[in-house]
Amino acid sequence: MLAFSRIQPTQGAWTVQANSKKADDRQPDKRKQSLYFPEEMLSEIKREALRQDRSLSWIVQQAWRIARDEIKKFPSINLDTDVVED
């Protein structure tokens, strides 16, 4: 699970610092994960979060759940040249 802890501007995008926590872990993973959103996209996410009175994290999680099956249809990039896909 990701919990967004900080949003800060970077060049041309926003960085969201996220703490990851596995469902079976009692302690959160202390490594940080940065998610980059173009300013316009982050503004849309913020507007939707305000409209629904939800957190940015909740909006992004719902978007992932909705889009997950479509994204899985994208072709993968196979970096291992010895593996041949059927």
Domain extents for the chain? 2-71
Question: Best-predicted range by mean pLDDT among 2-11, 18-27, 32-41, 77-86?
Answer: 32-41
Q: Position 52: which residue type?
A: Q
**Cα 47 to Cα 33: distance, rounded to the nearest angstrom:** 23
* pLDDT on residue 3: 54
* pLDDT on residue 68: 96
**Cα 16 to Cα 33: distance, rounded to the nearest angstrom:** 8
Type and span of the H or E element at 59: helix 56-71
* pLDDT on residue 71: 93
Give 25-82 pLDDT, tens digit per residue.
Answer: 666 666 677 788 899 999 999 999 999 999 998 999 999 999 999 999 999 887 665 5
